[in-house]
Structures are given as C-alpha cells and as structure tokens.
Structure 1
Amino acid sequence: MAFNLQNSMEGLISVFHSYSGKEGDKYKLSKGEMKNLLQGELIMGDLDENKDGEVDFQEFIVLVAALSVACHEFFKDCDKSCGLLK
C-alpha cells in the first residue's frame, strides 16, 4: 500500500512541477499556470468524454454536478455559527 501512496504522491508532485515555474517561482503556480493545469489535467481529460477536444453542455454539466456534490459534502455539517449557511 505504501508503494501505491508513494507513486500517487510522486505523480502529483510531478504534475505540479510540470506546470509551475514557467511564469515565475518554480515552486508556485501562477494564475495562468493553474488554468493550464486544470485544463490539461482535469477539465478536458475528464470531461471531454467523446475526445473531440471540446466540452459541450452535457459534458460541462458533469463538472457542475460534481462540484455541487463536493460543496454539499463540505458544508453539510456547517451550522449557522460558521457564517456560510443561513
């Protein structure tokens, strides 16, 4: 199991550094680098199901649904004292 975790961590670090440092600090992602990382590694790769190089509305709505679920999970235990939910 440690081997799988180590490989996963190495992969994440490698992807980060393949995008960072092109516009400045090699240990940070600029706004443009972050955009490129998201487009190249996450959005297009995961959403473009038919691999046509474009994300249509049906493919886009998958992202919206996934983000909604993730936000719901994050905030479901938040009470009124956190100031985020009414």
Structure 2
Amino acid sequence: MLREEFGEGGFVVRIRVLVVDDHRIFAESLAAALAAEPDVEVSAAGSGPAALRCLERAAAEGRRFDVLLVDADLGGTAP
C-alpha cells in the first residue's frame, strides 16, 4: 500500500523503495537517483540477510516497502 502523508494542498503519496545489491557503488547510485524524486523514500541493503532485517524492521514499525529492487545475482544469497 502506498503511503499517504499530508502535504501542501492535501495528500502526498510516498513510495517506499528498498534497493538490495551487493555492489555498493551501484546500489548507492540507484538509491540516490530514486531519492532525488520528492515522492520516493529509499533504503538500501547490501545482502539478503541485511534486506530481511530491513523488511522485518519496516513491518514492525508499520512502514512496509512498496517496491523491492533486488540484484538477480546477489552473491548466492536470497533476500
């Protein structure tokens, strides 16, 4: 479910994205490009286990991710 927050003139839809990639430079570049959009909130994880921790923490806080972008070749681990 997309997040809605109050902004000027009403609701603003915030899209929460988790980038999962073991190539730090690529993950940081992609996260920065996405975060440049005013309606996108980005987090990043460098491994499957780190991604699971992010997902569990987000679920516990009631702030689940809307989109997961996962490296198809994540060094043999599954997020």
Task: Determine which structure has the larger helix proportion and give its number.
Answer: 1
Work out which of the two has the higher radius of gyration on C-alpha atoms and give 1 or 2: 1
Query: Does 1 or 2 have the higher relative contact order (CA < 8 Å, sep 6+)?
Result: 2
TM range (shorter): under 0.3
TM-score using structure 2 length: 0.26
